[in-house]
Amino acid sequence: MTAASPNNPIDIADLLAFYASAGVDDALEDEPVNRLAEAVQKPSERAPVAATPARESAPPPPEPSRPDMSRLPDAPPARAPSASATVPDEAQAALARQLAATAASLDELRQHMAAFDGCNLKFTAKNMVFADGNPNAAVMLVGEAPGRDEDIEGLPFVGRSGRLLDRMLAAIGLDRTSAYIANVIPWRPPGNRTPTPHETEICRPFIERQIELVNPKVLVNLGGPSAKTLLNTTEGILRLRGNWRVHMTASGTAIPAMPTLHPAYLLRTPAHKKLAWRDFLEVKAKLRALG
């Protein structure tokens, strides 16, 4: 719609007809008010309320193309992008480490995590996704973070990639009664964005303690973020996968770990399913060897 010209009575009639059809049929003021321009004025700059508005004599208020947020009365002071910006996150990571270390059981760990407010992801997630499967299983699989379906159900790997994971487990004779499944991050990042390094560091003590408490014979890292976080490496997943690594727990137990491709990646790149199949056969052989 092009703007109506105030000089053209036909334009004005059209505009009024449009307003009326949209339900705008009541004028609140005699003159239009630019509320945005008002909002960026400090209270002290506002014209005193006069009995009759000084329409002609008052200069028009400035109209910035975008509201200047720094001039809003309640705008918080800008945070300088300095090293001190990391302090609150480090404090939260320290609290997470303390809470994780003092959890004597999986139930206690779940309670400590549910009470922990140090990761912002918690406030946008619908549910905390702690784990699914059998905590006494010989194998534990760890993914990255819940997606939409997992957030809704509060369980890991229940969406499309979860269904593929179930088929991969079934191919080596396992299911959720004989495997335990969790994620590095227990809260869904909004819009499924990649968790930030800070979020990962804050949540890391929880998943490390979870692994320690489950104490599986074999760990499977589903995707690069899980492998990098839990195997202390920066190598890419395509290099890591298929090779046994070790996950060291805080108490010094060495758990054999198999990094493999994430099911979501396999859905996008089905040609690589054969690689994951080889990795799962390795896991099966290791479980058999370890009894």
Residues of the shown chain interacting with ligand URA in the complex, contacts defined by CB under 6 A = 143-147, 150, 156-157, 161, 183, 264
What is the nearest approach in angstroms of ligand URA to the Cβ of residue 284? 22
- Nearer CB in complex with ligand URA: 40/220: 220
Q: Two tokens at 254?
A: 């060495």
For residue 15, CA distances in Å to 7, 23, 29, 124 come to: 13, 12, 17, 42
- Nearer CB in complex with ligand URA: 133/143: 143
d(Cα 212, Cα 105) in Å, to the nearest integer? Answer: 10
What is the nearest approach in angstroms of ligand URA to the Cβ of residue 145? 6
DSSP, res 86: G
Alpha carbons within 13 A on the beta-carbon side of 48: 2
- Nearer CB in complex with ligand URA: 150/282: 150
What is the nearest approach in angstroms of ligand URA to the Cβ of residue 248? 22
- Nearer CB in complex with ligand URA: 53/197: 197
d(Cα 150, Cα 40) in Å, to the nearest integer? Answer: 42
DSSP, res 57: T
What is the nearest approach in angstroms of ligand URA to the Cβ of residue 153? 10
What is the nearest approach in angstroms of ligand URA to the Cβ of residue 188? 9
Closest chain position to ligand URA (CB):
143
* Bridge partners, 133 (sequence order): 180
The interaxial angle of helices 87-101 and 197-214, nearest 10 deg, is 10
Q: Report the SS3 class of residue 227.
A: helix
- Nearer CB in complex with ligand URA: 40/201: 201
Residue owning tokens 């002290």? 44
